[in-house]
Structure 1
Amino acid sequence: MERVDVAIVGGGPAGACAAERAAAHGAETVLFEQGVPREDRDELGPDSTDAAGMLDYWIDIMDFDHREIPDDVIHQELDATEFVGPSSRLELSTTGIDADYPRFGYTFHRARMDDWLHERASDAGADLRVGTGVKSLETDLRAASPKGPTHTLTLSDGAQLEAQYVVLADGPQRRITLEALDQFTPPGRSVSDHLSPPEANHIAYQEYREFPPELFEEDRLKFWWGYMPGETAYPWMFPNDGTVARVGLTMPIGMDLEDVPNPGAYALLEPTDDQLPSGAEYIRRLLEREYGDEYDVEEDIPIVEDRGKSKGTETYPISSTRPIDSPVGANIAVAGGAMGTTSAFHEGGYHVAVRTGKIAGRLAATDSLESYNDVWKRAIGDEIVRNVAFADIVADYEPDDWDRAFEIVTDMQGSGDENAILERTYSAGIGATKLLTAYKKRKFGYRDGRYVQLTEDEYFY
């Protein structure tokens, strides 16, 4: 049987970065990625579907110098984000967090970014096996190895491989992660209870649309809040290359119209609806609402069919839950979306996937995996706390709540940074005070890693 030091399941940003770091630290490393086709990629690659926006400080979280990222990865430099409520608007021109990148952020070509990470891993000496998936993982807790438990991976072609350490980076679908980790948890506290994809994920849908030049906003991200029902459900628009933009949305999986107490309050629902619209119908309604008075949407803002996964459209799951610790005592680390690090508030997860993958790969290669849960919390804990606190605050928001929140934040902005907002709390009124108090209270509740929903000491070996 083939034997390696580190085996990595999944070739997205977490897996590729784990492979690069493990190989760079001298470990014999193999990465398995089943691979998917895309209209804009010649060969199989990771499931590179994402709205793909990068904020300034996220680059620092990834632990990259922004100057080393290839130019052809970046689509548009950004100066702001615009939040559109049912009757209000809010523009943010700063994240309020110190960063080396000189502008608000950028949009990027997700497949090219993933391919660049694969190149780095290959150049470091990792064996990347794209097109080969993993069917199952069995752990021998009583292995004779002086380094502790070992693992047997059964591959999609029937072959088997033994690894000393495993990094699970199979994304929000968690095809291998759930079963692999459930063997270390008691009934009622299984990983599946926390991260089962239908309950722990949102579904996202996006279309690549060609806009008339006069409509294309190249320097900003745009989000519509309070337009569709569901916890953290919203449409977005991200500028791409030329005048192509990705228009998409996220929404909970399995939500029904009967679950919506006041459907008439949502701009993208219609009185004749007998069920919630599909992603494509939501996008059509949004574009008609924004531009239909002056433009024929299908003629003037057409889908660009040579992009994305399938004729200019993409559908994909996004993890929308709080993270879990890894069973490091079994020589296993979970990284990226598989562990639930993607924000439940804004569904941005690329930066934390990269960083957790780098940490997992380095620690596995240096026989230091026992410290993984502590190290990733130090690296991305502040980001996780911000996101889960905001997700809690807006969980039950309805359209009017979004309008009030945007009006409050507009009054609070001041010079735009976080300290200025805090200093202007009093002058912005009681609403600002309540909003900031709620945020601080939730952040305090998640201190010392309490945002983790399945802790390391709950695994048994």
Structure 2
Amino acid sequence: MERVDVAIVGGGPAGTTAAERAASHGAETVLFEQGVPREDRDGLGPDSTDAAGMLDYWIDIMDFDYREIPDEVIHRELEGTEFIGPNSAVTMTTTGMDATYPKFGYTFHRARMDDWLHERAADAGADLRVGTGVSDLETDLRSSSEKGPTHTLTLSNGDQIEAQYVILADGPQRRITLDALDQFTAPGRSVSDYLSPPEANHIAYQEYREFPPELFEEFEDMLKFWWGYMPGETAYPWIFPNDGTVARVGLTMPIGMDLEDVENPAAYALLESDDERIPSGSEYIRRLLELEYGDEYDIEEDIPLVEDRGKSKGTETYPISSTRPIDSPVGANIAVAGGAMGTTSAFHEGGYHVAVRTGKIAGRLAATDSLEHYNDVWKRAIGDEILRNVSFADIVRDYQPDDWDWAFDVVSDMQGNGTDNTLISKKYTAGIDAMKILASYKKRKYQYRDGKYVQLPEDQYLY
């Protein structure tokens, strides 16, 4: 049987950065990625679907010098973001975070970014097997290896491979992760109880649309988000400007939500009185474009789909986990990284930056026989980011349309004549409503302090 030091399941940002770090530190490293086709990629690659926006400080979280990233990866540099409520809006031109990147952020070509990380891993000496998936993973806790437990991976072609360390980076769908971790849970419990609760799962849908030049100019350097326009926990549409006059128009919405679960359907601009069910993603997008631009443009004629982009004729659908992260069973020589461990947030749309950073950490520690430190190290690296995400998501969980208008009015008052991200930077003037938001934010952060945002701690695994 073939044997390697480090085996990695999944070839997205967490997997490829893990492979690059492990190989760079001298470990014999193999990565398995089953691969999917895309309209905008030659050959197979990871399931590269994301709205693909990068904020300034996220680049630092990834532990990259922004000048390393190839120019062909970046679509557009951004000056800010606009949050639009039913009757109010707020614009921010800074994230309020210290960052080395000189702009607010940028939009980028997700597949090209993934492929660049793939090239870095290959150059470091990792064996990248795209087109070969993993169908099963079994751990031998009583292994005679002096380095502890070993693992047998069964591949999609029937072959088997043995590894000293395994890094699970198979994204929010977790095709291998759930069963692999269930080896170490108590009888009657499953890791899916933490990572896949139906009420917290989200789906995202996006379309590539060509906009008239004069319309595209209105948001060519801005991200646009509409809050309170569709029902559901952290459900919102967006527009991300890309290259030329193409933009991605998409949304995030809960899976399995029924119209009868909506408290006040008439309050949502993208619901209609004759709806019998929650609209599909494509219907939501059509309604958004009609609402915003239908008075001046024929949507299908003037803002058409760009069918040579994305996964399928200009459209993409992908899962987003809105759960909180879990620890890894490092005592079994396993690390879980990126979306597979629950770091992807439906609230801020994605988690590419934390996937990259957790992958780097897992790969380095596995290669240096130090994986037992993984859970502590990733918390030090991305804990503040996770803490912000889960705190904000809790605050807005039950927001209705009027609540979004109220919140944006408060933030506008807090900003005064500026556009600073006052809630994070704390440059605000006191007021009753401002203090309500800040107090709520601080309360949530306090509740999740010292890593309490982890929903499955390491000591709950059974070895």
TM, length-normalised to structure 1: 0.98
Structure 1 residues 364-375: aligned runs within 5 Å: 364-375=366-377
Give the one of 205, 220, 223 matched to 2:222. Answer: 220
- Which segments of 5 or more consecutive residues in structure 2 lack a partner in the other structure? none
What displacement does 1:187 show? 3.4
- Distance in 1 between residues matched to 2:99 and 2:364, nearest whole Å: 24
- Classify the secondary structure of the residue corresponding to 2:44: strand
Query: In the alignment, what sits opposite 2:390?
Result: 388
- Distance in 2 between residues matched to 1:129 and 1:434, nearest whole Å: 52
- Distance in 2 between residues matched to 1:420 and 1:61, nearest whole Å: 17
What displacement does 1:345 show? 1.7
Query: In the alignment, what sits opposite 2:210?
Result: 210
Q: Does 1:424 align with 2:439?
A: no
Query: In the alignment, what sits opposite 1:116?
Result: 116
Give the one of 377, 380, 385 matched to 1:378. Answer: 380
Q: Does 1:446 align with 2:442?
A: no
Is the CA contact (8 Å cut-off) linking 1:412 and 1:421 kept in structure 2?
no
Structure 1 residues 213-252: aligned runs within 5 Å: 213-216=213-216, 217-252=219-254
Query: In the alignment, what sits opposite 2:82?
Result: 82
- Distance in 2 between residues matched to 1:42 and 1:197, nearest whole Å: 36
**Relative to structure 1, is the Cα distance of residues 366 and 224 closer, same or farther in structure 2, using a 3 angstrom cutoff?**
same
Is the CA contact (8 Å cut-off) linking 2:205 and 2:316 kept in structure 1?
yes
- Classify the secondary structure of the residue corresponding to 1:51: coil
What displacement does 1:417 show? 5.1
Q: Deviations over 1:217-271 (max 9, x none)?
A: 2100000000000000000000010000000001001111111111111000000
- Classify the secondary structure of the residue corresponding to 1:180: helix
- Classify the secondary structure of the residue corresponding to 1:372: helix
Is the CA contact (8 Å cut-off) linking 2:339 and 2:355 kept in structure 1?
yes
Query: In the alignment, what sits opposite 1:290?
Result: 292
What displacement does 1:189 show? 4.2
- Classify the secondary structure of the residue corresponding to 1:41: coil
Query: In the alignment, what sits opposite 1:72?
Result: 72
Q: Percent identity?
A: 83
Query: In the alignment, what sits opposite 1:95?
Result: 95
- Distance in 2 between residues matched to 1:238 and 1:432, nearest whole Å: 29
What displacement does 1:214 show? 0.8
What displacement does 1:323 show? 0.2
Is the CA contact (8 Å cut-off) linking 1:173 and 1:197 kept in structure 2?
no
Is the CA contact (8 Å cut-off) linking 1:194 and 1:200 kept in structure 2?
no
What displacement does 1:430 show? 0.5
**Relative to structure 1, is the Cα distance of residues 245 and 197 closer, same or farther in structure 2, using a 3 angstrom cutoff?**
farther
What displacement does 1:197 show? 6.8
Q: Deviations over 1:375-417 (max 9, x none)?
A: 0000000000000000000000000000000010111125525
Query: In the alignment, what sits opposite 2:180?
Result: 180
Q: Does 1:326 align with 2:328?
A: yes
Query: In the alignment, what sits opposite 1:149?
Result: 149
What displacement does 1:190 show? 2.3
Query: In the alignment, what sits opposite 2:409?
Result: 407
- Classify the secondary structure of the residue corresponding to 2:99: coil
What displacement does 1:353 show? 0.1
- Distance in 1 between residues matched to 2:85 and 2:61, nearest whole Å: 30
Q: Does 1:104 align with 2:104?
A: yes
- Distance in 1 between residues matched to 2:159 and 2:264, nearest whole Å: 54
| AA of the residue aligned to 1:185 | T
- Distance in 2 between residues matched to 1:388 and 1:314, nearest whole Å: 26
Q: Does 1:270 align with 2:251?
A: no
Is the CA contact (8 Å cut-off) linking 1:227 and 1:234 kept in structure 2?
yes
- Distance in 2 between residues matched to 1:221 and 1:4, nearest whole Å: 44
What displacement does 1:113 show? 0.0
What displacement does 1:346 show? 1.4
What displacement does 1:198 show? 4.3
Give the count of matched residue pairs.
459
- Distance in 2 between residues matched to 1:357 and 1:206, nearest whole Å: 26
| AA of the residue aligned to 2:134 | V
- Classify the secondary structure of the residue corresponding to 2:292: helix
- Distance in 2 between residues matched to 1:181 and 1:303, nearest whole Å: 41
- Distance in 2 between residues matched to 1:374 and 1:176, nearest whole Å: 24
**Which consecutive aligned stretches of 4+ in structure 1 deviate over 4 angstroms post-superposition?**
197-200, 417-421
Is the CA contact (8 Å cut-off) linking 1:174 and 1:197 kept in structure 2?
no
- Distance in 2 between residues matched to 1:11 and 1:267, nearest whole Å: 39
Is the CA contact (8 Å cut-off) linking 2:422 and 2:428 kept in structure 1?
no
| AA of the residue aligned to 2:224 | K
Q: Deviations over 1:6-42 (max 9, x none)?
A: 0000000000000000000000000000000001111
Q: Does 1:309 align with 2:319?
A: no
- Which segments of 5 or more consecutive residues in structure 1 lack a partner in the other structure? none
Q: 324-333 or 210-219, which moves further after superposition?
A: 210-219
What displacement does 1:320 show? 1.1
**Relative to structure 1, is the Cα distance of residues 247 and 57 closer, same or farther in structure 2, using a 3 angstrom cutoff?**
same
Is the CA contact (8 Å cut-off) linking 1:319 and 1:347 kept in structure 2?
no
- Classify the secondary structure of the residue corresponding to 2:287: helix
- Distance in 2 between residues matched to 1:66 and 1:204, nearest whole Å: 27
What displacement does 1:421 show? 5.9
- Distance in 2 between residues matched to 1:212 and 1:253, nearest whole Å: 33
Q: Deviations over 1:128-172 (max 9, x none)?
A: 000000000000000000000000000000000000000000000
| AA of the residue aligned to 2:277 | Q
- Distance in 1 between residues matched to 2:271 and 2:231, nearest whole Å: 9
- Distance in 2 between residues matched to 1:284 and 1:407, nearest whole Å: 28
- Classify the secondary structure of the residue corresponding to 2:102: coil
